[in-house]
């Protein structure tokens, strides 16, 4: 009997009273890891046998001491449970609980044993009460054979014949009955032959491991999908598998921590992950508020670090925009109807209750020349009512959808090569725009909608060449005529209304103003395919930006200012003229503008590499920016800003400098864009007061956020934030590191003063021998720029000098503005997100680099 087994006592310490002074740190650990603290002499056995059960107070430990199994009490609870927890690292962090719904009321009263039916059971020692039993095996058990239960180093607790350790022959394994934690090697999903459905289910509360409200599971209605469920409905849908990832998990990418796949065939439908390198310890946990996070163990700091978290933002809440609505975090409101659709209940929709969704504007009758409208880069809709073929091609897929009247759209089933066919029937639910890793979705539209919108080109092809030439000529005449009219009008107006209230004078003669081309509305409308969703590049503060192609093939970016922009026509004209005057190789060039009907648009040169944020905050794309390129970008931005602040004849404060406003050309040269917020000053006016604070949280200087004061030094602050972001690859906003109180600035500051500033360099940056000093110099300049007091910050001219100077003999930085700040996150995040969560974190904070 068990007398000769080494005894281990699990000592439970109430850490919330004992470690009050570290509370934020400890509680963040507790939130993500049901933990208890134990003091434990080592034991060596990893098995139990029919003759060697274990009692409460004893444990078994896997061969390499990765995991330990035994009885425990959660913090603040007297109940006893059988569970598995980490042993070597993070001791006491639970990964599995057996009797989660039937706690053992008293300590030292239970035994885990293999009973005479060949099952693992937890029973009371005295009375014959029973708390847990392993499920029946599908394999027949001849109890004459020798059974053992073994705790493996993977964290799997298995029941098997002592002479057979083939995983396929296990009689029972804890990996088939997960609690709230997915360990490498576990599967989530279905064994379709036996009907076994492996799912994570959250704890009810931190001190209560019984089944909580949320589960993480694979749904096999229609095309299989993974997601988080609450009360029988998705709360978050990761989506269907497209060969590379789940369509709604753009963050699931090749990474240094784990590999993953989804298996779907007649026998099985499951998602599984495994560690790339066993020295990186990782687990995936669903917590009791329905947040699933992947954590990795940082052995240097002895803590779990969040690797990724889902749902990531509000657009991830299932079906937020209702049927045929599409969510986008950078548009406001977040929900839009698909093109050709209108809100079903307009007043609810306008009141931001989008749940009723949208309906078709014009009825679609079957077989009357329907076609498709493409939505690029989206999360594909709910596939519970869909059909999939992995072999069919795109053309066949389209035809099949056209033939079937209830088909509402199609997409490719394999994002790797665009093959396969996924068809939807009925309503399309839970779509969102994705910046990265989205897929093309084709939505079936009646012929009338297609003609109304985008397929003028097709019609034109059918018209004979003569008509084509003729209409082109007519169009040209018309445009010329309109242009002429406009100019006349403009000149007239200029004569009448003196531009009062303007703080700068434009001395140029009107000839120079005429150099900025005025585009006709039709020209721009044609160039952008009638402002189609497909051509939308993004949405800025003042309105959406579209990609367009002019007749001669020149690509342009059109900023369409919102109609309700409270900007007067004259102001708009002066803005356009002002921008046109600003010419520098690090500023985006304005090609022209358009004022027609109530539209105001600015036409810019198109930047093929889009914006900086897409690179620096993305691990994969970050690799394209080596350190030399990053320095080039930093210096380029500094030069552009210096030009705005000093060298141009007008003093311009940008006011919204941020990574997404830095565009990159073919050669990755930076160009500052979006002067929508720029105001110009008279020569000696350096500070102004504003009643409405505009700008982007995370980049705004303290004096601007709190007092509405802005000056060129506010831009310097934003520049400093940008520099630190470029170096670290982390966003100032939404940055998460070990301690909720620190943002990126605070963290860089701490490492800087603590003497280890190089620790935070973006891991995609490859350094050569000379670069560390350069990195330090840039970081130094960045920190000087984000100093709390505006007077302490250098001007851009000093910044440019410092950046190009080999000597690092410049002042030491004072501590940054918003060293610790919470208010920023609070204001920025909407509704149910908490400001210290790492909602948009897809980055790695691994120390095992």
CB 42 within 8 A of CB 61: yes
Distance CA 42, CA 9 (A): 11
Number of residues this chain uses to bind ligand NAG (CB under 6 A): 14
Residue 774, Cβ neighbours under 10 Å: how many?
18
Torsions phi, psi for 828 (to 5 deg): -75, -45
Distance CA 165, CA 20 (A): 46
CA angle 568, 486, 519 (to 5 degrees): 85
Segment interacting with ligand NAG, rule: CB under 6 A, options 152-160, 282-290, 634-642, 746-754: 282-290
Segment interacting with ligand NAG, rule: CB under 6 A, options 108-116, 286-294, 354-362, 629-637: 286-294
Helix (H) or strand (E) holding 798: helix 796-804
Q: Nearest distance from residue 513's CB to ligand NAG, in Å?
A: 54
Q: Nearest distance from residue 736's CB to ligand NAG, in Å?
A: 9
Distance CA 759, CA 743 (A): 16
Residue 575 neighbours by CB under 8 Å, 6+ apart: 567, 675, 676, 678
Smaller CB distance to ligand NAG: residue 331 or 389? 389
Torsions phi, psi for 260 (to 5 deg): -155, 160
Q: Which of 12, 84, 291, 784 binds ligand NAG (CB under 6 A)?
A: 291
Smaller CB distance to ligand NAG: residue 404 or 419? 404
Is 406 a binding residue for ligand NAG by CB under 6 A? The answer is yes
Is 165 a binding residue for ligand NAG by CB under 6 A? The answer is no
Is 707 an active-site residue?
A: no
Is 31 a binding residue for ligand NAG by CB under 6 A? The answer is yes
Which residues inside 385-404 make contact with ligand NAG, applying CB under 6 A? Answer: 387, 404
Write the DSSP assignment of 366-383 as a string of letters.
Answer: TTSS-EEEEEEEEEPPP-
Q: Nearest distance from residue 829's CB to ligand NAG, in Å?
A: 11
Which residues inside 329-388 make contact with ligand NAG, applying CB under 6 A? Answer: 387
Query: Percentages helix, strand, coil for the chain, rounded to the nearest 5?
Result: 25, 30, 45
Helix (H) or strand (E) holding 190: strand 187-191
Smaller CB distance to ligand NAG: residue 401 or 594? 401
Segment interacting with ligand NAG, rule: CB under 6 A, options 95-103, 142-150, 285-293, 337-345: 285-293
Smaller CB distance to ligand NAG: residue 659 or 836? 836
Q: Nearest distance from residue 289's CB to ligand NAG, in Å?
A: 4
Q: Nearest distance from residue 567's CB to ligand NAG, in Å?
A: 40
From residue 375, alpha-carbon distances to 343, 431, 441 in Å are 19, 10, 5
Segment interacting with ligand NAG, rule: CB under 6 A, options 37-45, 288-296, 492-500, 655-663: 288-296
Smaller CB distance to ligand NAG: residue 290 or 325? 290
Instruction: Enumerate helices (H) and strands (E) in the chain, giving the number of each.
Output: 19, 45
Site string for ligand NAG, 781-800 (x = CB under 6 A): --------------------
Q: Which of 58, 109, 215, 288 binds ligand NAG (CB under 6 A)?
A: 288
The single-letter DSSP state of residue 533 is G
Q: Nearest distance from residue 26's CB to ligand NAG, in Å?
A: 13
Segment interacting with ligand NAG, rule: CB under 6 A, options 281-289, 348-356, 473-481, 604-612: 281-289
Torsions phi, psi for 680 (to 5 deg): -115, 150
Smaller CB distance to ligand NAG: residue 837 or 844? 837
Q: Which of 65, 632, 690, 848 binds ligand NAG (CB under 6 A)?
A: 848
Q: Which of 277, 692, 769, 809 binds ligand NAG (CB under 6 A)?
A: 277
From residue 849, alpha-carbon distances to 255, 287, 453, 557, 763 in Å are 12, 27, 51, 40, 8
Annotated catalytic residue, options 46, 219, 430, 656: 656
CB 682 within 8 A of CB 504: yes
Q: Where are the alpha helices (DSSP H) in 643-763?
A: 702-707, 712-728, 744-753
Distance CA 294, CA 113 (A): 33
Site string for ligand NAG, 422-451 (x = CB under 6 A): ---x--------------------------
Record the tokens describing residue 69, joined without a space: 């199994």
Residue 481 neighbours by CB under 8 Å, 6+ apart: none
Smaller CB distance to ligand NAG: residue 299 or 613? 299
Smaller CB distance to ligand NAG: residue 133 or 402? 402
Is 692 a binding residue for ligand NAG by CB under 6 A? The answer is no
Give bridge partners of residue 388 from the DSSP assignment. 422
Smaller CB distance to ligand NAG: residue 310 or 771? 310
Q: Nearest distance from residue 91's CB to ligand NAG, in Å?
A: 21
Is 287 a binding residue for ligand NAG by CB under 6 A? The answer is yes
Distance CA 609, CA 137 (A): 57
Distance CA 219, CA 232 (A): 11
Smaller CB distance to ligand NAG: residue 409 or 544? 409
Distance CA 562, CA 356 (A): 26
Q: Nearest distance from residue 225's CB to ligand NAG, in Å?
A: 17
Segment interacting with ligand NAG, rule: CB under 6 A, options 35-43, 284-292, 674-682, 749-757: 284-292
Record the tokens describing residue 699, joined without a space: 């980049």
Residue 79, Cβ neighbours under 10 Å: how many?
18
Smaller CB distance to ligand NAG: residue 4 or 279? 279
Q: Which of 279, 497, 807, 812 binds ligand NAG (CB under 6 A)?
A: 279
Q: Nearest distance from residue 278's CB to ligand NAG, in Å?
A: 7
Is 25 a binding residue for ligand NAG by CB under 6 A? The answer is no
Give bridge partners of residue 587 from the DSSP assignment. 672
Write the DSSP assignment of 193-259 as a string of letters.
Answer: TTTEEE-EEEEEETTEEEEEEEEEEEE-SSS-EEEEEETTEEEEEEEEB-SSSBTT-TT----SSEE
Q: Which of 308, 837, 842, 844 binds ligand NAG (CB under 6 A)?
A: 837
- In the sheet with 543-549, reading across from the earlier edge strand, the strands are 536-540, 543-549, 555-560, 599-605, 590-596
Is 249 a binding residue for ligand NAG by CB under 6 A? The answer is no
Q: Nearest distance from residue 31's CB to ligand NAG, in Å?
A: 4
Give bridge partners of residue 508 from the DSSP assignment. none
Smaller CB distance to ligand NAG: residue 288 or 528? 288
Query: What 3-state class would DSSP assign to 719?
Result: helix
> Active-site residue numbers?
656
Q: Which residues in this chain contact ligand NAG in the complex, by CB under 6 A?
A: 31, 277, 279, 287-289, 291, 387, 404, 406, 425, 834, 837, 848
């Amino acid at each position: 009997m068990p007398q000769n087994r080494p005894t281990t006592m699990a000592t439970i310490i109430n850490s919330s009273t004992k470690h009050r002074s570290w509370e934020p740190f400890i509680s963040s650990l507790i939130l993500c890891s049901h933990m208890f603290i134990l003091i434990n002499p080592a034991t060596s056995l990893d098995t139990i046998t029919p003759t060697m059960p274990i009692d409460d107070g004893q444990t078994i430990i896997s061969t390499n001491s990765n995991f330990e199994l035994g009885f425990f009490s959660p913090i603040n609870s007297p109940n006893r449970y059988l569970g598995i927890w980490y042993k070597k690292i993070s001791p006491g962090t639970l990964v599995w609980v057996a009797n989660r719904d039937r706690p053992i009321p008293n300590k030292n009263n239970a035994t885990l044993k293999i009973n005479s039916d060949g099952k693992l059971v937890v029973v009371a020692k005295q009375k014959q009460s029973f708390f847990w039993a392993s499920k029946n095996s599908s394999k027949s058990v001849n109890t004459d054979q020798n059974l053992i239960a073994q705790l493996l180093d993977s964290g799997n607790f298995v029941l098997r014949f002592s002479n057979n350790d083939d995983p396929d022959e296990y009689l029972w394994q804890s990996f088939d009955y997960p609690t709230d934690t997915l360990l490498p090697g576990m599967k989530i999903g279905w064994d379709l032959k036996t009907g076994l459905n492996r799912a994570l289910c959250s704890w009810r509360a931190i001190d209560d491991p019984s089944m909580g409200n949320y589960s993480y599971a694979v749904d096999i209605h229609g095309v299989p999908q993974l997601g988080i469920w609450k009360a029988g409905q998705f709360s978050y849908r990761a989506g269907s598998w497209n060969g590379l990832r789940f369509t709604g998990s753009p963050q699931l990418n090749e990474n240094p921590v784990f590999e993953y796949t989804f298996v779907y065939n007649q026998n099985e439908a499951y998602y599984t992950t495994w560690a790339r390198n066993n020295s990186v310890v990782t687990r995936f946990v669903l917590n009791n508020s329905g947040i699933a996070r992947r954590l990795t163990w940082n052995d240097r700091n002895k803590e779990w670090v969040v690797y990724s978290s889902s749902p990531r933002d509000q657009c991830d809440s299932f079906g937020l925009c209702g049927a045929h609505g599409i969510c986008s975090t950078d548009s406001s409101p977040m929900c839009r109807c698909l093109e050709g659709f209108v809100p079903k209940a307009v007043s609810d929709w306008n009141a931001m209750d989008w749940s009723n969704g949208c309906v078709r504007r014009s009825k679609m009758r079957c077989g009357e020349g329907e076609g498709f409208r493409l939505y690029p880069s989206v999360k594909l809709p709910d596939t519970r009512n869909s059909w999939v073929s992995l072999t069919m091609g795109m053309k066949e897929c389209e035809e099949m959808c056209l033939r079937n009247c209830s088909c509402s759209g199609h997409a490719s089933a394999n994002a790797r090569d665009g093959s396969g066919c996924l068809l939807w029937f009925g309503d399309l639910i839970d779509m969102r725009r994705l910046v990265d890793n989205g897929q093309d979705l084709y939505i079936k539209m009646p012929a009338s909608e297609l003609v109304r919108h985008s397929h003028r080109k097709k019609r034109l092809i059918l018209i004979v060449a003569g008509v084509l030439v003729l209409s082109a000529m007519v169009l040209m005449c018309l445009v010329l005529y309109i242009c002429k009219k406009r100019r006349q009008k403009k000149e007239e107006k200029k004569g009448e209304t003196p531009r009062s209230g303007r703080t700068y004078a434009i001395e140029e003669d009107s000839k120079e103003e005429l150099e900025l081309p005025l585009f006709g509305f039709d020209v721009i409308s044609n160039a952008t395919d009638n402002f189609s969703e497909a051509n939308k590049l993004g949405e800025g503060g003042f309105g959406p930006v579209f990609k367009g192609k002019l007749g001669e093939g020149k690509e342009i970016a059109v900023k369409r200012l919102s109609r309700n922009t409270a900007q007067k026509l004259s102001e708009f004209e002066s803005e356009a003229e002002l921008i046109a005057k600003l010419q520098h190789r690090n500023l985006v060039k304005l090609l022209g503008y358009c004022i027609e009907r109530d539209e105001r648009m600015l036409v810019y040169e198109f930047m093929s590499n889009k914006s900086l944020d897409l690179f620096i905050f993305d691990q994969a794309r970050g690799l394209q920016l080596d350190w030399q390129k990053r320095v080039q970008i930093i210096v380029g931005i500094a030069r552009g800003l210096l030009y705005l602040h000093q060298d141009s004849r007008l003093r311009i404060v940008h006011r919204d400098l941020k990574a997404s406003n830095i565009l990159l050309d073919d050669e990755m040269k930076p160009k500052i864009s979006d002067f929508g917020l720029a105001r110009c000053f008279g020569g000696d006016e350096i500070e102004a007061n504003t009643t409405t604070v505009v700008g982007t949280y995370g980049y705004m200087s303290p004096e601007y956020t709190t007092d509405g004061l802005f000056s060129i030094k506010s831009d310097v602050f934003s520049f400093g934030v940008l520099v630190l972001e470029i170096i670290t690859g982390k966003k100032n906003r939404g940055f998460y590191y070990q301690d909720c109180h620190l943002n990126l600035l605070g963290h860089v500051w701490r490492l800087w003063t603590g003497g280890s500033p190089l620790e935070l360099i973006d891991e995609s940056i490859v350094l050569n021998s000379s670069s560390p000093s350069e990195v330090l110099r840039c970081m130094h300049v960045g920190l000087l720029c984000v100093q709390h007091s505006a007077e302490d910050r250098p001007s851009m001219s000093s910044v440019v000098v410092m950046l190009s100077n080999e000597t690092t003999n410049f002042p030491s930085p004072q501590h940054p503005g918003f060293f610790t700040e919470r208010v920023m996150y609070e204001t920025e995040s909407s509704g149910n997100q908490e400001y210290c969560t790492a909602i948009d974190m897809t980055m790695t904070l691994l120390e095992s680099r």
